[in-house]
Chains A and B, each alone.
Chain A
Amino acid sequence: MTDQVSMLIVDDEPSVRDPLMRWFVPEGYRVETAANGLEALDKLRDSSFDVVLLDIKMPGMDGIELQQRLKEIDSQLAIIIMTAYATVDTAVQAMKQGAYDYITKPVDPSDLSRLVRNAVVQRRLARENLSLKEGIRSLMSIDEIVGESPQTQEILKVIHTVAETDVTVMIQGASGTGKELVAMAIHFNSRRRYFPLITINCGALTDTLVESELFGHERGAFTGAQYRRKGKLELADKGTVFLDEIGNIGPKTQMDLLRVIETKRFTRLGGNQVVEADFRIISATNSNLEDAVKDGAFREDLYYRLNVFNIQLPSLKERASDIPPLVNHFVRKFAMAMNKPFTGVDPQTMEWLQQQTWPGNVRELQNAVERAVVVGKPPLITLDDIPRTSGWRTSSAPDEIMPLVEVEKRHIQLALEKTRGNVSVAAQLLGVDRATIYNKIKKYCLSY
């Protein structure tokens, strides 16, 4: 144990307390003693202890009553009851009230030593568990979803409601509206929050890769499969699977996914062994899946299975009143990360930011603020700090020479507009793979 173990010995007889203290001190423990219940309670109020050795028979407050009172102060305290007079009744009572163990004096030194060590380990594990849970809770709270508009408030209410259930959720909204953030908020406010949240970007993977990602594979299932690999569904056991860009999965994967949602059983690629996993599914898409269902590109039965609860995320333009709190949130976040003492944005710049349409939605706004914090001089972000290469409201003359990055960005945006947001077709036209287009969409905060 890396930090010092602290112990409280409670016994009315100094001939018991003092030798016991002298026996434990050479272990490196911090040992204190108390002659009665009141003294013990005072000690616990002033200091914390890992373990208490408590005599059951004491004048005034006996060990059983004291144990209860000690637990009220520190419910994680490891209490070992000592008695020279073992009775079943007192033993049962002590254990029912949460004693770690119960020993009859005199006890073998090795037994007491081991008992105390194990009690301390258990206490430390319980505290660590509590601390980790607190950490998880603080990592992702609903505070990450910023906004005062009626739409945002409604979304927050919906998240709270749906998080308490286990229904499948489909989140729909344009690129950059915060679908992943909402999925995280649902997971971390659900009973599954201490278990994994596994994200699969179905858009960035080919059909075979999506299958392998979802179900895993056995060794030799395909070329390059040198080892058995667990799939994301297996890794998400007891947790949540977030399927981003669900509209991009192929027919075979749709069929397999439907079966898995219904049975919670599957086999790895190339394998026969049935794997069982308990997970919740949250999916997201920025395309119109109803149209895809009508066109036969997406299975209707899978659609209804995934869409038990639907959350529509508005574009940033539709909730423009959220722009100031979002901007202030991003300024705080990036200023802290970069250790720059920004206090906010000057009023003129904020007004300008509110007037923009933000086709890339919150992600685009976030990127713009981040870049402004990089180049700007504290304490306020000004218009000069907003990057000119963002390009949404600059128009250029036909023969103007633009940076190559800007050219690429505009051309990809054009391809997406021409193909009505069909990433596969746009990729084909541009002569690149789908994954490349998705990466560029993220990089340039394009809408599609």
Chain B
Amino acid sequence: MMLLVTIEFAGEKEIERLRDQLETRFLTKVNVSRPGLDPRDFLDLRRNQYSSSAIVEWLEKDLSTAHSKVLAVTGLDLYIPVLTFVFGEARLNGRCAVVSSYRLDNKFYGLPDNRRLLQDRLLKEAIHELGHTFGLFHCHNPQCVMKSSTYVEEIDFKSSRFCGNCFEKLMKSSELVERR
């Protein structure tokens, strides 16, 4: 069972739709939680960005272990210290991950609003980060959802599906095997 946790994320419809999509892709029940926590705990005032690592640490410590995977979805701009931003962060072979819609939204780039595109990007990055929690590394296949993306254009180019190799590794992952 998976848990979607929203942190300062306004899109109700987007979350519901994401939940449905993840249930289909990972063949598991996905619950949604809206804990209403104060994001200032993760804020770097100098950068005016939020630490993805701090969010993941909070997810790991503060949430119950009823769910095998926990994905936080946020509208906040995420960072790690050396980089200008990150789209998300996950614990490789871990339980928790976070993904941000901030830089997936066309509005950030001064482009016309496109909700469908945002949903598509959010789905891909959500699956990508969850893929890491199942032990998947970045993939060189440009179409695979596990391909590393540092620009939104790269996210748009790849599909939301795992390539054959990554899918096989995902299937071998213990959690999914047990579920089957």
Taking CB atoms, residues of chain A closer than 8 Å to B85 are 109
Q: A22-B92, A25-B92, A26-B132 are in contact. Are A109 and B81 (CB under 8 A)?
A: no
Q: How far is the CA of A105 from the CA of B137 in the complex (A)?
A: 25
Q: How far is the CA of A82 from the CA of B52 in the complex (A)?
A: 21
Taking CB atoms, residues of chain A closer than 8 Å to B163 are none
Taking CB atoms, residues of chain B closer than 8 Å to A112 are 82-83
Which of A18, A22, A27, A28 is the most central at the interface, judged by chain B CB atoms within 10 Å of its CB? A22
Confirm or deny: B53 has a beta carbon within 8 angstroms of a beta carbon on chain A. Answer: yes
Q: Determine how close the nearest CB of chain A comes to the CB of B165; give it in whole angstroms.
A: 13
Confirm or deny: A38 has a beta carbon within 8 angstroms of a beta carbon on chain B. Answer: no
Q: Residues of A at under 8 Å CB distance from B? A: 13, 15-16, 18-20, 22-23, 25-28, 53, 82, 105-110, 112-113
Contact (Cβ within 8 A) B92 A106: no
Q: How far is the CA of A367 from the CA of B47 in the complex (A)?
A: 79
Which range holds the interface residue count of chain B?
Answer: 20 to 34
Contact (Cβ within 8 A) B80 A20: yes
Contact (Cβ within 8 A) A82 B53: no
Confirm or deny: B143 has a beta carbon within 8 angstroms of a beta carbon on chain A. Answer: no
Taking CB atoms, residues of chain A closer than 8 Å to B89 are 19, 22-23
Confirm or deny: B150 has a beta carbon within 8 angstroms of a beta carbon on chain A. Answer: yes
Contact (Cβ within 8 A) B82 A18: no
Given A22-B91, A27-B138, A106-B47, list of 4 further CB < 8 A pairs?
A16-B81, A23-B82, A26-B136, A108-B84
Q: Choose one: B80, B84, B148; the contact of A113 (CB below 8 Å).
A: B148
Q: How far is the CA of A290 from the CA of B83 in the complex (A)?
A: 76
Q: Determine how close the nearest CB of chain A comes to the CB of B98; give it in whole angstroms.
A: 12
Contact (Cβ within 8 A) B150 A16: no
Q: A28-B138, A109-B150 are in contact. Are A18 and B53 (CB under 8 A)?
A: yes
Q: How far is the CA of A20 from the CA of B148 in the complex (A)?
A: 15
In the complex, residue of chain B having the shortest beta-carbon distance to the beta carbon of A13: B81
Q: Choose one: A26, A108, A110; the contact of B137 (CB below 8 Å).
A: A26
Q: Determine how close the nearest CB of chain A comes to the CB of B172; give it in whole angstroms.
A: 17
In the complex, residue of chain B having the shortest beta-carbon distance to the beta carbon of A28: B137
Q: How far is the CA of A112 from the CA of B148 in the complex (A)?
A: 13
8 residue pairs, one from A and one from B, having the closest CB atoms:
A110-B150, A19-B80, A109-B150, A16-B81, A19-B53, A28-B137, A106-B84, A109-B83
Q: Determine how close the nearest CB of chain B comes to the CB of A109; give it in whole angstroms.
A: 4
In the assembled complex, 12 residue pairs joining A and B whose CB atoms fall closer than 8 Å, in A order, are A19-B53, A19-B82, A19-B89, A20-B80, A26-B90, A26-B148, A27-B148, A106-B47, A110-B151, A112-B82, A113-B148, A113-B150
Q: How far is the CA of A113 from the CA of B150 in the complex (A)?
A: 9
Taking CB atoms, residues of chain A closer than 8 Å to B47 are 106
Q: Choose one: A28, A82, A110; the contact of B82 (CB below 8 Å).
A: A82
Q: Determine how close the nearest CB of chain A comes to the CB of B144; give it in whole angstroms.
A: 13
Q: How far is the CA of A107 from the CA of B150 in the complex (A)?
A: 12
Q: How far is the CA of A372 from the CA of B179 in the complex (A)?
A: 69
Contact (Cβ within 8 A) A107 B82: yes
Q: Determine how close the nearest CB of chain B comes to the CB of A137; give it in whole angstroms.
A: 35
Within residues 123 to 140 of chain B, which ones have a CB less than 8 A from any CB in chain A? 132, 136-138
Q: How far is the CA of A435 from the CA of B80 in the complex (A)?
A: 74
In the complex, residue of chain A having the shortest beta-carbon distance to the beta carbon of B135: A26
Q: Choose one: B53, B82, B91; the contact of A106 (CB below 8 Å).
A: B82
Taking CB atoms, residues of chain A closer than 8 Å to B137 are 26-28
Encoded as 1 (CB less than 8 Å from any A CB) or 0, chain B from 31 to 48 comes to 000000000000000010
Q: Determine how close the nearest CB of chain A comes to the CB of B157; give it in whole angstroms.
A: 14
Confirm or deny: B86 has a beta carbon within 8 angstroms of a beta carbon on chain A. Answer: yes
